[in-house]
Amino acid sequence: MHVRVASRAHARVLTFALMLSAAGASMAAGCRSDSSEQIDAEWTLDPSPPIAGSDVIAHVTLRDSAKMPVLGAKLRLEGQMSHPGMAPVISTLTERGGGVYDAHMKLTMAGDWTLVLTGELANGVRITKQLDLPGVRQATG
């Protein structure tokens, strides 16, 4: 095996070129103006508080860091119970306009639930947001 060592001048030029290349790559990765953390999700539930066994409509409003509505997202809402082994309740959200998305779901039993919103924004950024719903009650009567 032969190893060729560049002169000091060549080594400096190569080192500088590698540093510029790495800096450019990290700047390109950081240039995306939208990320999941820069998106605010505002939740409302109808009825509120939700009642186990009845239909619940989740309204989720997405806004970017400039408080502008986030349009064109493809979203899914998953209701998960805190008990292991419980099947999740899954719903696709429908865009209503103005950054508002709706999901219809039925929380199957009383207890602690977590709603997990996942999906992809129109610009390709993946999003995950969560809402805890402790103490969902069974309908009385």
Query: What are the pLDDT digits (tens) for 64-73?
Result: 999 999 999 9
Q: At residue 62, does pLDDT exceed 50?
A: yes
The answer to whether position 96 is within a domain reads yes
Give the CA radius of gyration of the chain. Answer: 24
What is the CATH classification number for the domain harbouring 67?
2.60.40.1940
Owning domain of residue 107: 36-138
> What would the pLDDT profile of 91-122 be if each residue is shown by its tens digit?
999 999 999 999 999 999 999 999 999 999 99
The residue among 132 and 20 whose pLDDT is bigger is: 132
Query: In total, how many domains does the chain have?
Result: 1
Cis? peptide before 49, omega within 30° of 0: yes
Write down the H helix ranges in the chain: 8-30
Confidence (pLDDT) at 35? 60
Could you tell me the pTM of the whole model? 0.72
Going 95 to 101 to 102 to 107, the CA torsion angle's sign is positive
